[in-house]
Each structure stands twice: as structure tokens, then as C-alpha cells.
Chains A and B, each alone.
Chain A
Amino acid sequence: MADERKVKILVAKPGLDGHDRGAKVVARALRDAGFEVIYTGLHQSIDQIVQTALQEDVDAIGISILSGAHMYVFPTLIQKMKEVGLDDVIVFGGGIIPLDDIPKLKEAGVKEIFLPGTSLETIVEWVRENVKPRKVTL
């Protein structure tokens, strides 16, 4: 384990939605799969999430959202990430999201959406496949 380059993932809960069980369960599963997970806690503004991702130099952001505000949160997040130069950070999410919205979210730049009932193995496997440490040069 020691020499392996760690993948860092930010797990965040935006806005007023206070249901964080899912986020915590996913964070724990990712930890058990060997990832380093930064967990922000509840009620994060999009600016806070972007700043945290930037300072922690994460490779991906996982957003848990059950409030219905996903059509605002995801595109705004991705836009603000671009503004600060985090274009190469992967965004994925999970929560109660209508099927019709998923293609629109993907078009906005969300890499994957996990719906209720998704197994933890599926999420962990997806992260393993799709998230690699971002390249960095001097």
C-alpha cells in the first residue's frame, strides 16, 4: 500500500438537505476500498465545495443530493470548478434524481449518477475504473 499513489475524493452535501446517511455510507465504503475521502459535513455552499476541492487537491467530487436542486447544483458546481481551473476533477453524484434529468446532467459534465438502490460495490468499482490521480507538473 505504501508506495501506491492515493486517489483523493471529496464527498460533499450541498445546500439545505440534511440527510447525510447515504454520503457517510459511501464515504466509508470508499475508505474501505483504500481511497482517501475528505468529508465536508452538511449544508455546504457550492463555493465551499469548490474551495475544499481546490485546497485538498482531490481527483473527484461525489455529491449526495436528495433535495431536488440537482439541476442547479451540478451545472453551477462544474461551471465554478472551471473558473478556478479544476477542469480535470471528475464529478459524480447520487440521490433522488429523475431518470429524465440524467442525460442533461451528463451533458453538463457530470460523469455518473447513482440512483437509490445502487450497491456500494458498483460505486466503488466505478470509482476505481474512472478516477485516477490527476497529473501534476511543476
Chain B
Amino acid sequence: MGLVDLLLKGDKRAAARAMRIVEEEYPEAKELLRAIYPYTGRAYVLGVTGPPGAGKSTMIDKLTKHLRKRDYKVGIIAIDPSSPFSGGAILGDRIRMQDLSLDEGVFIKSLATRGQLGGLAKATDAVAQIMDAMGMDFIIIETVGTGQSEVDIVKTADTTIVVVVPGLGDDIQAIKAGILEIADIFVVNKGDRPEADRTVRDLRVMIELVERKEDEWKPPVVKVSALYDSGFDELIDSIFQHKLYLEKTGRFESHRKDKVKELFVGLLKDRVCSKAISGLKESGIYDVLIDNIYNRKVELYNAIDSIRVIFDYSELKVLLGD
């Protein structure tokens, strides 16, 4: 049996191999993704983000155990940063989830960002597709520990969960801008700490201050404690409420369509740019061009504008059945 058939049957080894193909962008990736595409779109995608040390991995470990109790299969994509200097990475999110590694209904994949900004890895979506095709009900994506602008997860996830912790007074300040706006659900982790209730209150006040249309979603604040295993049923309820809200208001479809656009534009940029660069390099112009721009003989914008790109859509039209 081929890799694709095995993976569609939920075989973990086949799935892992398939993920490697898409991650390394092997030539087989195209055929693979085409073959599994009809079997995707079923899984519900949760994004989990928050500052480093907020307990994202531990929270996901517990959330997954609760989802498993309800018999859902869960795929986890845990993203950690690559070193900008060596290109290497230490992927350590699994440490907090190793109990899950022997669970038949759980698949954990670590990804390194490999230079990608925005808190995700380039292969995130393709890996999620594979998890979807192998039969996962939920896919949980854990971003790198974020500051204020790593908000790409919103575009990828159906429901975005922002994890915060009590005790860091400035935390609330830090989330005022970027992260406050992206959360569909707030999780106050380490809820066993005495300051947790105050953090919950502060967040709720902050959420009230945001102007909303009548039918617009108001992010709930859920206090959980991984230590005492509390709050997770409430969190799962909130996830399902948000899912229901998306479906009822038609936002589920529009959000997923936006995601397709986002992915399409992103990939297109990537492809066009790397094709242009490799073309320039092959014809030996690239180094001369850079030298000339550096030496002020050619101006940058003029150089860019003087490149003619010819697009041919005939093959695409065949794909579309035209």
C-alpha cells in the first residue's frame, strides 16, 4: 500500500513521513497534497498563542486529555524557533506532552520556524492538512512564545486561544494591543495562583472596553489550572460555543475562505520571488546587479521596475476545467 493510502487509514508512520515530504518541500509534496486534499477540511483547528513561559504546552497537554475523554482524536503541531545563526533548533514543547505520545488517538509534531516570522512555520498548514486527512478531529497549533505581533495564527486557526498568566502585572499592558484583538478565547493559566482572579477580572474589563456590534463574539475568559486539572470542561464548552457562533453567523466559511486567499497569496509571493531570483542568478546578472546598486550606478526601484514578468495561466485553466 502506498504512503497516501496508509496515511488516510490513520497510519502514524506514513503520516510522519508525509509531513517530512511537505516540510522539506520534496518534489513528491505536490502529488501528495493533491491526493489528500479531498479528505481535508473536516478537522477543527485551534490556535494557541501567548508569551513564552505562559504554560501553553502544559495547557495543551491537559486540554488534549480532556478532548480524548470525549473521544476526539487530536493532532498537535508545536512550533519552536530556529536559531537565526545556525539554522538549527531545539524543539522542546513535547517535554510537557510526553504522556500523550503513547495515546493512539494523538499525534504530536514539532516544527521549527526555519526563518519564518509571525510565530508559525512555513509547513504548518500542509502538516495540518495531513493531520486532517489522517482523521484527527481537532488540530491544535501551538505558536512560538509570542510578543505582540506574532498574529499569523489567527489566519490559520478557526478558534484562537490566547494564554496568559497571572502575576505579571505588565502582562495586561503587553496584550492591550496585538494579542487582545486576536483572541477568541482567553485562558488564564496557572489559575491556582492567588493573583489569578484579579487577572481574570482585569481581562474582562479590558474586553468590555472594546466596541462590538451586537452579534459580534465577545471573548470569554476561562481560568484553568493544569496543576489541579480544573477549568478544562469550561474551556471546551467555550470552544464549542465559538464554533457554533462561527457557523451560525456564516463566519466559519468566510474565515476559511480568507485563509485560502492568505495561503494562496503567500505561496504565490514566495514562488514568484524565488523564481525571479534563481533566474537572475542563473544568467549571472544577480551579483552584478547588487554591485551596481551598491555602487550607486543603478537605483533599486528602477532595477525592480525594469524586470518584466510574464505569466502564463493556460495550465491553471486546464486545472480549473476550462
Question: Is A114 located at the chain interface by the 8 A CB criterion?
Answer: no
Question: Which residue, of A27, A51, A55, has the highest number of chain B Cβ atoms within 10 A?
Answer: A55
Cβ of B306 < 8 Å from any Cβ of A? no
* CB contact under 8 A between A31 and B20, given known A40-B98, A85-B13: no
B82 to chain A: which residues have CB within 8 Å?
Answer: 36
Contact between A55 and B107, CB atoms less than 8 A apart: yes
**Please, how many angstroms separate the alpha-carbon atoms of A37 and B110 in the complex?**
10
Question: Which partner residue on chain B sits nearest A84 by CB separation?
Answer: B13
Q: Which of B8-56 contact A (CB under 8 A)?
A: 12-13, 16-17, 19-21, 24, 26, 28, 31-32
Looking at the complex, which of A67-75, A98-106, A130-138 is the stretch in contact with chain B?
A: A130-138
Is A80's beta carbon under 8 Å from chain B?
Answer: no
In the complex, whether B114 has a CB less than 8 A from a CB of chain A is yes
Contact A56-B110, Cβ < 8 Å, known A85-B13, A133-B24? yes
Across the interface, do A31 and B88 meet the contact criterion of CB distance under 8 Å? yes
B-contact 0/1 string along A4-30, CB 8 Å cutoff = 111000000000000000000001101
Do the beta carbons of B90 and A28 come within 8 Å of each other?
yes
Q: Give the docked Cα–Cα distance between A116 and B19 (Å).
A: 36
Bound Cα distance A36, B95 (Å): 15
A1 to chain B, nearest CB (A): 4
| Given known contacts A31-B88, A32-B88, A37-B88, A57 and B20 CB-to-CB distance under 8 angstroms | yes
Q: Is the CB of B89 within 8 A of A136?
A: no
Query: Are A136 and B94 closer than 8 Å at their CB atoms?
Result: no
Residue A33, interface by CB 8 Å: yes
Tell me which residues across on chain A come within 8 A of B13, comparing CB atoms.
54, 84-86
On B, residues with C-beta under 8 Å from A are: 2-4, 12-13, 16-17, 19-21, 24, 26, 28, 31-32, 82-83, 85-92, 94-95, 98, 101-102, 107-110, 112, 114-115
| Residues of A bordering B, CB below 8 Å | 1-2, 4-6, 27-28, 30-41, 44-45, 47-48, 51-52, 54-57, 84-86, 133-134, 136-138
20 more A-B contacts (CB under 8 A) besides A136-B21, A138-B3? A2-B115, A6-B112, A31-B90, A32-B88, A33-B88, A34-B87, A36-B91, A38-B110, A39-B91, A39-B94, A47-B102, A48-B102, A52-B101, A54-B12, A54-B13, A54-B16, A56-B16, A137-B28, A138-B4, A138-B21
